[in-house]
Amino acid sequence: MQIETDEPEIIERIAALDVSKGEVVCCARVPGPRGQRMQEIRTVSTMTAALLGLGDWLAGLGVTRVVMEATSDYWRAPFYLLEDRFETWLVNAKDVKHLPGRPKTDRLDAVWLCKVAERQMLRPSFVPPPAIRELRDLTRYRVDLLAVRTAEKQRVEKLLEDALIKLSVVVSDPFGASGRAMMAALIAGERDPAVLAALARGSLRSKTARLTEALTGRFTDHHAFLLTQMLQRVDAVTADIATVQARIDAQIGELAPAVVRLDAIPGLGPVAAQMILAEIGTDMGRFPTPAHLTSWARFAPGVSESAGRPKGKAGTGKGNRYLARVVGEAAVSAARTDTFLGERYRRIARRRGKKRAIVAVGRSILVIIWALLSDDEAQFVDLGPDYYASRTNPERKVRQHIRELQSLGYSVTLNPAA
């Protein structure tokens, strides 16, 4: 028998909010006479004054915990106004399943959420403190701006294809110095492919013949007008990205030492470290073990078993897409390095495939991050690409090969003297 240390089963004074864009339905449950439970339901506006009044009412009832479902971005207003006065929980909508066959209204949803929450059948989602939330807004906006710029660059490439200009076939980055110079000349009215190819710089000069062929097309004034607008949009978004990044660098403040320590991890750079800290924060008390962090980030295989047999494909599921993106990119970058993480990727990729290897290396990166953020004195030390080889027992490998041959029907005898 194991001793459980759970809190008491029933939370005496609790409230639950069903949040929508225009109104909030609140159900409060408190102890009644002779052991009964009493509840009251109120509907208020999502305006600030109404939510502050709702907080006063809950405080008058002695409510200790307020639970709400994560509904789009509508949860932010009540959460931000109540988090300083109560133990405020934001719960995942998947954890709050309304029983099938029952009527569904906002009032019934609030009551159901309150009843489930008072029995502690829910777990809170991770909501970072205000300083981390502000940093998260900046880093996520930067990612969104990068996506906008990428989309605009793709429109430029489609426009050049329409004009029969095959610049991207020869130039790896059409928006580099050479590519921008050629597009500027096209806009200015230059149509001679040889003159345009002569604008190549650096190592691209060796491809003059191919550039001349690629720049032979039907570029018209119509294309020039559209290309001008698109390039202006690209430059404007690039300037916005630089402005947002400068704001991030200025606001990183006390997190700068953590950024430096995370920067030492192969595959991570300062920008990636800033994005990771903005998503998970620096307080690892929210994640008691590395397994909690990797599970929350969905970098751990799912477990689904029935009748003693695993079900499904053990997929990781969908988690924080911003965190998944930066950790996945870090894993791919680390795979190209001559480090422990790079060797780990190559070993797994040979046996399980590249996608599983990326997830495995991403999980290792998160474990390292958890260890670095859990101890302010911790520093990253690479184990090196030879770590696995140093731990391999040659005799064990021989025995493993013998068993494999015997399973295939061969008779193998080990002769040490030979």
Alpha helices in 318-386 (DSSP H): 321-335, 340-352, 354-374
Length of the chain: 418
Helix (H) or strand (E) holding 256: helix 256-263
Q: Indicate whether 348 pLDDT > 80.
A: yes
Closest of 75, 124, 99, 94 to residue 318, by C-alpha = 94
75: exposed, middle or buried (Cβ count in 10 Å: 0-12, 13-18, 19+): buried
Residue found by looking up tokens 């408190």 in the block: 30
Q: For residue range 29-38, list pLDDT tens digits in order.
A: 888 887 788 8
What tokens were used for 155?
A: 């429109």
Backbone angles phi, psi at 279, to 5 degrees: -90, -35
Mean predicted confidence (pLDDT) in 279-290: 87
Mean predicted confidence (pLDDT) in 233-255: 92
Q: Indicate whether 99 pLDDT > 80.
A: no
Mean predicted confidence (pLDDT) in 22-41: 86
Give the whole-angstrom CA distance, residue 139 versus residue 283. 19
Q: Indicate whether 315 pLDDT > 70.
A: no
CATH class of 14-119: alpha beta
Q: For residue range 404-413, list pLDDT tens digits in order.
A: 888 888 888 7
Q: Indicate whether 7 pLDDT > 60.
A: no
Q: What pLDDT does residue 412 have?
A: 80
Query: With bands split at pLDDT 50, 70 and 90, how would you rate the model's confidence at 98?
Result: low
Mean predicted confidence (pLDDT) in 94-117: 76
Mean predicted confidence (pLDDT) in 65-85: 87
Q: If DSSP codes are grouped into helix, strand and coil, which group holds residue 122? A: coil
Q: What pLDDT does residue 408 have?
A: 87
Q: For residue range 190-220, list pLDDT tens digits in order.
A: 899 999 999 988 888 888 889 999 999 899 9
pTM of this prediction? 0.80
Q: What pLDDT does residue 162 have?
A: 92
Backbone angles phi, psi at 127, to 5 degrees: -120, 115
Q: What pLDDT does residue 383 have?
A: 86
Query: With bands split at pLDDT 50, 70 and 90, how would you rate the model's confidence at 306?
Result: low
The lowest-confidence range among 194-203, 367-376, 388-397 is 388-397
Q: What pLDDT does residue 368 have?
A: 93
HEC string for 130-164: HHHHHHHHHHHHHHHHHHHHHHHHHHHHHHHHHCC
Give the whole-angstrom CA distance, residue 338 versus residue 355. 19
Q: Indicate whether 257 pLDDT > 80.
A: yes
Q: What is the mean pLDDT of the chain?
A: 86
Give the whole-angstrom CA distance, residue 71 versus residue 73. 6
Cβ neighbors of 100 (< 8 A, separation 6 or more) are: none
Query: With bands split at pLDDT 50, 70 and 90, how would you rate the model's confidence at 417?
Result: low
Mean predicted confidence (pLDDT) in 381-387: 84
Q: What pLDDT does residue 410 have?
A: 87
Give the whole-angstrom CA distance, residue 17 versus residue 388. 52
Q: For residue range 85-95, list pLDDT tens digits in order.
A: 888 888 877 77
Q: Indicate whether 416 pLDDT > 80.
A: no
Q: What pLDDT does residue 175 have?
A: 92
Query: With bands split at pLDDT 50, 70 and 90, how would you rate the model's confidence at 312?
Result: low
> Considering the chain, what percentage of its residues have pLDDT values greater than 70?
90
